Structure 1
Amino acid sequence: MKSKLNRTNQLKHQTRYMPGLDGLRAIAVIGIIIYHLNKQWLSGGFLGVDTFFVISGYLITSLLLYEFESNGAIDLKAFWLRRFKRLIPAVFVLVFTVTLTTLIFKPEQIISIKQDAFAAIFYVSNWWYIATDVNYFEQFAFMPLKHLWSLAIEEQFYICFPIVIVVLLLTVKKYRNISLIFWIVSLISLAFMIYIAQPHMHHSRVYFGTDTRLQTMLLGVILAFIWPPFKLKENPNKALRTIIDSMGGFGMIILLLLFIKVDDNSDWIYNGGFYLISGITLFVIMSAVHPSGYFAKMLGNALFIYIGKRSYSLYLWHFPVISFIHSYFVDGQMPIYVYAIDIIFTVVFSEISYRYIETPFRKQGLKAFSLNRFKKAPFIRTVTLMLITVPTLFIFAGAFDKFGTNQPNQQSSYNTNEIDKYLVRPIPVDDVNFLGKSDFKKDKKNEVYTDLKPLLIGDSVMVDIGETFKEQVPNANIDGKVGRNLYEAAPLVDQKYKQYNNKSSQVILELGTNGDFSEAQLEELISKFGKANIYLVNTRVPRSYESHVNQLMADAAKKHENVTLVDWYKRSEGHSEYFAPDGIHLEPSGVRALSDEIIKHIAPKKEHS
């Protein structure tokens, strides 16, 4: 009995602060912020979320195991209360602030943001975005709370996992067997992700799913059984310490290279990639938590500790700040000072959250708030919270729904095969000479080409220009669909447009907005149209694949006599007014410019001159 008591007392003195983990958190959150500032700067920065998942699984399990070994039980109520005090207040303040700010600056968005806010408050954002088919990587809508999907998964994990581990510790008991169970479940999660992931499609279900992302957290859980941080020797022999440091250093190099090289369009990350990347992260964590390692000391430098301690605050605030500020500028044509404003506002709001919301509530609980005006800090905190909360509750109650709309701003498709069945088009006003003057001249921009009967296949940009283009080329056959990729066009042609394959046919292909494609895929599509005159409209899209798809189109135009390049990239250069804030979809001036550029190529020169 005495021996057991001494062992318990010894264990109680073994917990320690691990600065290396804060350093790793700092690297993860910096990667995420850079990715959201501009994807082309760090195409794999989104992997920082998985780093957080692994750290969470490892640290939570380590603490739970430590408590179980110290006390012979785990106080679930106390655990959940600590999690509540650590996470909930900051999220609520963020959600209320974003909702209120939306009402003030973007009232037309209030309904959709309110819905996202409800999901965030109940920590089901990930499932809400699955239900509404949101694409994390390519969703262009204004969604300043979208990043809370990852916190929803973590909170769901924090609620369920402690119960599971308590049951396993009391029934299975042996750590080796418990670890094996968690490993099998992680493989099931991996297998499920691979099974439901579809090549070349957006992966909202697999990316947001708690079940498919559980694999990452469980790898951290398993490491806690194998490498418990509070039992590591403080002074291992030199050879072992060198091996541990080398693992961490090598793992970090690989992780940083993945941050640089991985692309969010890559299919391989859903076919074991996340599992592999998380596995590499385990080696970094093993080294980062060692009490005497040089690598851990390097990660635990003062700057990284400062950022790491505020990583939660930085993650919470950076995305809403970027979403609001960037919504007033054109993506891909952003002035450099905008990024400086992003960073300044993110740091300021994060510091306020860390100092005046998170830290006081974590340490004092409800005592951090007071209506006693003599308690200055608690009083100010309480009044500020009330000023945010009260109007937000009215928003939630629907008092301001009249300002918003729940309808998407952009139609999902434009297909003249369907439209022309029901639509009777008026005679263009520009064709009528009301004044009867002999010198009356028609505006060339509105010239109508009734002899042209081209086929246009495209994505959301084609949807943008469809109506305007149809006004000038009334016999055009236009098939545009939001989210369409080039590889989807080949089966579409086989199904509907085989007749456009002779020399008199004109085919305009505007495909490249939504993702990369290969030379073989482009050649296959071109071959579908035989001897038709094909016009490839290149793209201006602020994504990493822009230059590649444009080069493939330029090469195809040089290779084939019947293929012509419509250089929208060049035509739109320096014209930020052409684009919506996402830098892709078109404003009215852009619609007119792209329509004109296409017509300039397909119309007979004598008519267009």
Structure 2
Amino acid sequence: MRSKQYVTGIDGVRTLAVFGVIIYHLLPTTLPGGYLGVPLFLLISGYFVTLQLVRQMDQTGGIRLTQFYLKRLRRLYPVLIVMLTVTTAYITVFARDLLHNIKSTIITNLLWVYNWWEIGHGQSYFDRFNGESPFTHLWTLGVEAQFYFLWPLILFLLFLVLRKRTRIKWTVFILAVASAIEMAVLFDPNNLNRVYYGTDTRAFSLLLGAWLALCWPIDHLNAKLTTPAAKILDGVGISALLITLLGFFTLPGQSSWTYRGGMFFYSLIGMLLIATVVHPGSHMNRWLTNPIFAWIGQRSYGIYVYQLPVMVFYERVVEIGQHPLLNALIECGLIMVISELSYRFVEQPLAHYQWRHLPNSIRHWIDFKMHDWRQWVKIGPGVIICFIALCGLMLPSRPIKKSAEQTRIEKSKQATAQKNQQIAKGKTTKVNVNSKSLQKKYGLTSAQLKAASQLKITAIGDSVMADASQDIQEIMPHAYVDAEVGRQGNATPGVIKDLKAKGQLQKIVILNLGTNGAMNAQTIDDILNAIGSDHQIYWITPHVPTRDWEQTVCDQIKQTAKQHNNVHVIDWNQAASSHAEWFGQDKVHMNEQGNAYFTRLIVKTILKNK
């Protein structure tokens, strides 16, 4: 039975939140701000938990802590444990490379401190390329669980010390602002983990929800509003919904503005949205109530928990780059099916289970005489999965073995750094343009090698450029290469300005950006403006068949070349599309043969335009 004050429209907000996060993970270039669904979840938790606690204190003068904690644990643990078990079993059988740190991952999740572990050991939430973990998104559960544990104690202390409700309200609001300020102060563009995963730096969304519960308790809201008042409330709700959607489409997760007020701003907007939905005099609750939203909202916890394992495992075996939308729909379908199975066979049964009967249930399940073959068919798969997961946990945790591509990239970076130092000093090596082996390796004539050896260029890129840098500098010894693993487009203008200041930005600039994600129009303009219109820019189209942004980035580069006379396309994507033999295991970074063809294409394209 649902509470009489169950707000059905909140399921609509949960649907908005969970689909924002899912679409962000599936199609980050389409919905770059979809991660803002997480603050909506935190706002909802902050509001309803505080509402429940304040109601208890008003009625009894205290908080039934044991009952509160047990209720939350019964809600959170079952789905989490099932997900951790099944995911670990799958990794053990099909993805052994992900077993690294699996024990720490499981233990910190079960202790609700995974977000703090991720700060020092985990992957960036925005790292979509370097072996994405199926557990990364679970940081939010740690933040929520810590809030559930600490907030009743803090709130009780506030009531005990401050007594007056007005003082308590503004203290909570000041705490929310302090959390947002801390996020801004600790923001480091080179390491987002601290501010993104930290409970203290993400607490403002929870605290704004709590503040709303203190100022706007559903029990005290008047359902009978005047028509003008209801229209104002509806207008605020619609505006908040539209602004939230705008944020989903426009606020990139690696922008400095996001952490210096942007996320706090959208949390305030989300708070206004929730305020209008819970108000009985507004129409927002009715507008956000329908069977689809109810179905998704009630399963939103499971949908959120299961989403990333499905995506990571699916995208390990399917190249999604050519058909991103179709694959996204398939992945959504798989997530929904798994979430429904979990809701029906895990969440609902355990929600009504009498846990005092657990010892009897265990004795029943281990009594082999009480089970016929049909019961074993039901429990057998679960036993096997648990056994495989246990085997995975017992395996020794070995450091992730570097691939041949990773090893070569590291060596190339070291060699390139030394070459760059020599170039900066005006010292370069000579190219033997008559070398038959060199001509054969790169498929270039003696005349082409001679012309290439005289080119003065600056190459700026990501790990693909870092991989090919030795080949580039072998036949273009004047090439100054600045390449960084994981480099995003929005970090490039700063790199260009630094190269200009050092006098290393040549008139010919090669760009290899887009492997790690698409860029918006502003980022592209910033890159071009930083280089300047008096430079010739050669932009390489990326070959990323395993990511949905491949075609988007290629289109962006070609469109930019059409709009600017000094921008030229080096179409690596097209040249490499039918040559799987040029690439390593990840199908993105080249092997030695691929690096040679990559370098050859760069040289031929530049010489053709000259």
- Verify same fold: TM over 0.5: yes
Tell me, what secondary structure is at the counterpart of 2:92?
A: helix
- Give distance in 2, aligned partners of 1:540 and 1:554: 21
Q: CA deviation at 1:50?
A: 1.1
Alignment-derived partner of residue 152 in structure 2: 162
Matched, 1:537 2:540: yes
| Aligned residue runs from structure 1 range 365-376, under 5 A | 365-366=354-355, 367=357, 370=362, 372=364
Q: Which moved more, 1:203-212 or 1:460-469?
A: 460-469
Q: Which residue identity does 1:313 align to in structure 2?
A: G
Closer, same or farther: CA 262–594 of 1 in aligned 2, 3 Å: same
> Conserved in 2, the CA contact under 8 Å of 1:415 and 1:479?
no
- Give distance in 2, aligned partners of 1:43 and 1:26: 18
- Give distance in 2, aligned partners of 1:466 and 1:555: 29
- Give distance in 2, aligned partners of 1:375 and 1:75: 40
Matched, 1:594 2:571: no
Q: CA deviation at 1:226?
A: 0.8
> Conserved in 2, the CA contact under 8 Å of 1:459 and 1:482?
yes
> Conserved in 1, the CA contact under 8 Å of 2:462 and 2:515?
yes
Q: Which moved more, 1:575-584 or 1:449-458?
A: 575-584
Q: CA deviation at 1:178?
A: 0.9
- Give distance in 1, aligned partners of 2:498 and 2:240: 45
* 1:450-506, Cα deviation, whole Å (9 max, x unpaired): 7726654422111232355566667865442213432243355357664x758xxx6
Alignment-derived partner of residue 27 in structure 1: 16
Matched, 1:273 2:270: no
* 1:518-570, Cα deviation, whole Å (9 max, x unpaired): 5354344358xx88x764435467547765565446655x14xxx75433355
> Conserved in 2, the CA contact under 8 Å of 1:452 and 1:603?
no
Q: CA deviation at 1:83?
A: 0.8
Tell me, what secondary structure is at the counterpart of 1:119?
A: helix
Closer, same or farther: CA 591–121 of 1 in aligned 2, 3 Å: farther
Q: Which residue identity does 2:121 align to in structure 1?
A: T
| Aligned residue runs from structure 1 range 154-553, under 5 A | 154-198=144-188, 203-291=192-280, 293-334=282-323, 336-366=325-355, 367=357, 370=362, 372=364, 385-399=382-396, 401=397, 405=400, 407=402, 410=406, 411=409, 414-418=413-417, 431=436, 442=440, 445=443, 449=449, 452=453, 455=457, 456-469=459-472, 478-484=481-487, 485-490=491-496, 492-493=498-499, 498=504, 501=506, 508-511=510-513, 513=515, 517-519=523-525, 521-525=527-531, 535-539=538-542, 542-543=548-549, 547-548=555-556, 551-552=559-560
Alignment-derived partner of residue 7 in structure 1: none
Closer, same or farther: CA 554–363 of 1 in aligned 2, 3 Å: same
> Conserved in 1, the CA contact under 8 Å of 2:442 and 2:600?
no
Q: Which moved more, 1:489-498 or 1:203-212?
A: 489-498
Closer, same or farther: CA 442–269 of 1 in aligned 2, 3 Å: closer
- The counterpart of 1:135, out of the listed 103, 106, 124, is 124
Q: Which residue identity does 1:510 align to in structure 2?
A: N
* 1:168-225, Cα deviation, whole Å (9 max, x unpaired): 1222122211111111111111111122224x65633222221111111111000000
> Conserved in 2, the CA contact under 8 Å of 1:356 and 1:381?
no
* 1:333-366, Cα deviation, whole Å (9 max, x unpaired): 2365433331222112111211211222222154
Structure 2 gaps of 5+ residues are 422-428
Closer, same or farther: CA 565–179 of 1 in aligned 2, 3 Å: same
Q: Which residue identity does 2:222 align to in structure 1?
A: K
Identical columns (%):
30
> Conserved in 2, the CA contact under 8 Å of 1:102 and 1:113?
no
Tell me, what secondary structure is at the counterpart of 1:91?
A: helix
Q: CA deviation at 1:39?
A: 1.8
- Give distance in 2, aligned partners of 1:378 and 1:393: 23
Q: TM-score, normalised by structure 2?
A: 0.81
> Conserved in 2, the CA contact under 8 Å of 1:95 and 1:121?
no
Structure 1 gaps of 5+ residues are 1-12, 434-440
Q: How many residues align?
A: 572
- Give distance in 2, aligned partners of 1:580 and 1:220: 48
Tell me, what secondary structure is at the counterpart of 1:364?
A: coil
- Give distance in 2, aligned partners of 1:15 and 1:537: 60
Q: CA deviation at 1:16?
A: 2.3
Alignment-derived partner of residue 87 in structure 2: 98
> Conserved in 2, the CA contact under 8 Å of 1:182 and 1:218?
yes
- Give distance in 2, aligned partners of 1:239 and 1:584: 59
Q: Which moved more, 1:45-54 or 1:374-383?
A: 374-383
Closer, same or farther: CA 383–587 of 1 in aligned 2, 3 Å: same
- The counterpart of 2:571, out of the listed 544, 550, 567, is 567
- Give distance in 2, aligned partners of 1:292 and 1:602: 67
Q: Which residue identity does 1:341 align to in structure 2?
A: I
Tell me, what secondary structure is at the counterpart of 2:352?
A: helix
> Conserved in 1, the CA contact under 8 Å of 2:122 and 2:136?
no
- Give distance in 1, aligned partners of 2:198 and 2:484: 26
Tell me, what secondary structure is at the counterpart of 1:508?
A: strand
Q: Which residue identity does 1:599 align to in structure 2?
A: V
- The counterpart of 2:6, out of the listed 14, 17, 20, is 17
Alignment-derived partner of residue 6 in structure 1: none
Closer, same or farther: CA 261–491 of 1 in aligned 2, 3 Å: closer
Q: TM-score, normalised by structure 1?
A: 0.81
- The counterpart of 2:136, out of the listed 139, 143, 146, is 146
CA RMSD of aligned residues (A): 4.0
Q: Which moved more, 1:477-486 or 1:177-186?
A: 477-486
Tell me, what secondary structure is at the counterpart of 2:483?
A: strand
* 1:52-108, Cα deviation, whole Å (9 max, x unpaired): 011111111111111112222101111111111000121111012111101211112
| Aligned residue runs from structure 1 range 105-116, under 5 A | 105-116=94-105
Q: CA deviation at 1:276?
A: 1.4
